[in-house]
Structure 1
Amino acid sequence: MTDKLNQIGLDNRASKELSDKLNELLANYQIFYMNARGFHWNIKGEKFFELHAKFEDLYNDSLEKIDEIAERILTLGFTPLHNYEDYSGISKIKASRNVSGGKDAVQAILDGYKVLLPLERELLEMAGESNDEGTGALMSDYIREQEKLVWMYSAFLNK
């Protein structure tokens, strides 16, 4: 029975499924991060100072989450994706190009959350079914934070 468990006592098959889904989340976060970084660099207009700082917060937060997701995959006993071709091949978030307007950038961020949040909710459910408290807690924290950010960015767009 113990040969079906990984080093942290979770079912190997369930951990593999979680790891695959975490890699999908990782790929989407990498593109989301790159987009936020580009928005930070290229933003122009009347809300420049406010958005420039907000996008810096966003890409720093995304970078931290990328590291946490990759380390969770390793903790489960698998290998995180680590090259751009893998990321771009499976990410549903697409790379933004030449976005310098505040409203367009904020809308792209909101569109990114429309991909990230369902993935995180799916992972939360999978983690619960697998008794994987570590992955579940991580996803729960991300969901709570991002739901608030969706509200805030939506308010910026008067939605």
Structure 2
Amino acid sequence: MTTNSIGLETKKTKEIASDLNTLLANFQIYYQNLRGIHWNIRGKRFFELHPKFEELYTDANLKVDEIAERILTLGLTPLHTFEDYFKAAKIPVGKNISEDEKAVQLIVDSLSELLKIERQILNDAGDANDEGTNSMMSGFITEQEKTVWMMKAWLGESV
């Protein structure tokens, strides 16, 4: 078993970093979706949703950087082209969404997909004794579950 300079098994680390690249690509699509709905939201709930979407895209932008830096820490190169993002994307791309309920549903759908990816990474990071990635995923998951709950409540639905 070969370990890297941070004490993790090299093979497992590369697999986790690869999965983090998938997460990074999906987060970039999520981020851009949030920018789009922030810019294009219309209607009576504009003043409520416009700042909320800005809050979410600001947070997503920070997470994109954290994910990329973790990938570098694990020894791989983060994806950084839109071509790569689209190839790895699992979340829906929202185009020209201006209706409030469709915008919020896009957030729920996107976060649901991100959570699936993050749970897999969390599982693999635990198996690899990768506490740095594990901790990051735990924090992301906790926050995003709460956001899903709030968005579903806004839609009048339960989780």
Query: Normalising TM by the smaller chain, what interval?
Result: over 0.9
User: 2:109 is matched by which residue type in structure 1?
Assistant: D
Deviations 1:48-96 (A, max 9, x none): 0110000000000000000000000000011000000000111011321
Distance 2:52 2:40 in 1: 13
| 1:114-153 superposed matches below 5 A | 114-153=112-151
Structure 2 match to 1:77 = 75
CA distance in 1: counterparts of 2:120 and 2:99, whole angstroms: 32
Which amino acid is the alignment partner of residue 8 of structure 1? I
Could you tell me how far apart the structure 2 residues matched to 1:45 and 1:33 are?
A: 22
Q: 2:16 is matched by which residue type in structure 1?
A: L
Alignment partner, residue 53 of structure 1 = 51
4+ residue segments displaced more than 3 Å = none
- 1:141 is paired with a residue whose SS is helix
Gaps spanning 5+ residues in structure 1: where?
none
CA contact (8 A) 2:92 2:106 kept: no
Map Cα deviations across residues 7-50 of structure 1 (whole Å, 9 max, x no partner). 21101100000011000000000000000000000000011011
Length, aligned pairs only: 157
Seq. identity, %: 55
Partners in 1 of 2:144 and 2:21 — Cα distance?
Answer: 19
* Partner in structure 2 of residue 66 of structure 1: 64
In structure 1, what is the equivalent of residue 85 of structure 2?
Answer: 87
TM-score where L is the length of structure 2: 0.97
- Which of 90, 93, 96 lines up with 2:94 in the alignment? 96
- Give the aligned partner of residue 27 of structure 2: 29
Matched, 1:154 2:124: no
**Residues 88 and 94, structure 1, Cα contact 8 Å, conserved in 2:** no
Code of the aligned partner of 1:57: E
